[in-house]
Structure 1
Amino acid sequence: MGLVADILATYAGPRRVIRRQLAAGAREDRALMHLMLGCALVFIAQWPRLMRVAAEPGAPPFEALIGGALLAWLFIAPLGLYLLAGLSHALARLAGGKGTAFGARVALFWALLAAAPLWLVHGLARGYFGAAPVTQALGAIGLGVFLLFWFLGLIEAEAAEATETAQTAGDATRR
C-alpha cells in the first residue's frame, strides 16, 4: 500500500497496519522516513499559530519563531523520539514484551505520522481561532489518537508473533 493509503487504513485498523509494516522486515530507512515526515508535518502545522503569535505587539519576528520551531521539530524532536521509543521498548520488555527495539520505533514513528493530519487541522484552527476551546478539543483529540495508535502499535510490535514475522521477512529479503 502507499503511504497515504496506509495512514487512512490506520484509522480503521492500526494494529493491522503495524503488523504489515513489521512483516516487511527491519527497514531502518523506512522508519526514519516516517519519523522525519511526521516531524515535518507537525512543524508545518505550527505555522498558522506562529503567524498569529508574530502578529501580536512586542512578539518576536515570524522568522525567529519559525526557526525555533524548525530546530525543535526537525532536529531535537527526532532524537527525543528515538529515546522515547527505546524507553517504551525497555518498559514493554519488563512487562513481558517479546518484540524488538525496531518494532517499538516503528510503532512510535508511525503513530506520529498517522496522527499528523489531525495536527495539521489543529494547527490551522490555532491560527484561525487562537487558544479557543475548539482548538483545545482538537488538540486533545489529536493527542488521544496519537497515544492510541502508539499504544496499539506497541502491543502489536511487542507480541511474539510480530517479532517472528519481522525476522522471517528480514531473512527472506537478505537471501
Structure 2
Amino acid sequence: MAVTTDIVQAWWRPKTVIARHLQRPKSEPFALSLLVAFLLLAFVSLWPALSRQAVLQPEVPMVQRLVAAGLALLASIPFWYLLAALSRWTAEIFGGQGSYYSARMALFSALLAVAPGLLLQGLVAGMIGPGRQFDLVVILVGLGFLWIWISMLVEAERGDAG
C-alpha cells in the first residue's frame, strides 16, 4: 500500500497499519526510509517558522537557518534508534514479545503518520507565531503522536506480528 494511505489510516487504525508492515519481510532499508521520509517532512515543516525568524532577525540569513535545521534533523537519527530501543526495553518489562525491529517500525511509522500534523504546526508557527493557537496545535500533534505510537507499539509487542 502507498505510504500516504498508511499515514491517513494510521490516525484511525494504527494497529492495522503496523500489523501490515510487520507482515512484510524484515527490511532495515524500509524502516530507515520511513524515518528519512519523516525527517524530510519535518524539515519542510520548519520552513515557515525559519522564514518568519529570518524576517524578524535578518542578521542570520535563511540559508544558514535551513542548513542548521537540516543538519540538526540528520543528527537526530541516532536518537530515534535509541528511543525505539528504550521503548522495546520498556515493553519487555511489561511482557512484550516483539523485537527491536518491530519497535523501530512502530516508532518510525508513528513519526511518519504524524508528519502532516507537523506541517500544520509549521504553518501555524510561520503565519501566526507563538501563542495559544500554536500551543494548542503542538499539544494536539503531540497527543496524536503518542496515541499512534503507543497503539502501534502494543500491536508490535504482541510477538506474533514481529
Give the number of the structure whose residues are more often helix, by fraction: 1
Where 2:161 maps in the other structure, the secondary structure is helix
Map of 1:63-102 to 2, 5 A cutoff? 63-73=63-73, 75-102=74-101
Residues 27-81 of structure 1: per-residue CA shift (max 9 Å, x gap): 11111000000011011100000010111146522122111110111x2111110
Measure the CA separation in 2 of the matches of 1:58 and 1:113.
32
Measure the CA separation in 2 of the matches of 1:48 and 1:131.
13
Measure the CA separation in 1 of the matches of 2:58 and 2:40.
28
May I ask how many residue pairs the two structures share in their alignment?
Answer: 162
Measure the CA separation in 2 of the matches of 1:18 and 1:2.
13
Give, as a single letter, the amino acid of the residue that structure 2 aligns with 1:151. Answer: I
Where 1:162 maps in the other structure, the secondary structure is coil
Where 1:64 maps in the other structure, the secondary structure is helix
Where 1:26 maps in the other structure, the secondary structure is coil
**What is the deviation of 1:161?**
2.2
**What is the deviation of 1:132?**
2.2
Map of 1:1-175 to 2, 5 A cutoff? 1-57=1-57, 59-73=59-73, 75-163=74-162
Task: Please give the TM-score of this superposition, normalised by the length of structure 1.
Answer: 0.89
**What is the deviation of 1:123?**
0.2
Q: Which runs of 5+ in 2 are unaligned?
A: none
Aligned-residue sequence identity (percent) comes to 35
**What is the deviation of 1:153?**
0.7
Query: Which consecutive aligned stretches of 4+ in structure 1 deviate over 6 angstroms post-superposition?
Result: none
Is contact 1:6-1:17 (8 Å) kept?
A: yes
Is contact 1:53-1:59 (8 Å) kept?
A: no
Tell me the C-alpha RMSD between the 2 structures: 1.1
Measure the CA separation in 2 of the matches of 1:6 and 1:162.
17
**What is the deviation of 1:25?**
2.2
Residues 100-146 of structure 1: per-residue CA shift (max 9 Å, x gap): 00000000000110000010011011100001211111111111111
Q: Which runs of 5+ in 1 are unaligned?
A: 164-175
Say which one has the larger Rg. 1
Q: Which moved more, 1:38-47 or 1:130-139?
A: 130-139
Measure the CA separation in 2 of the matches of 1:124 and 1:57.
19
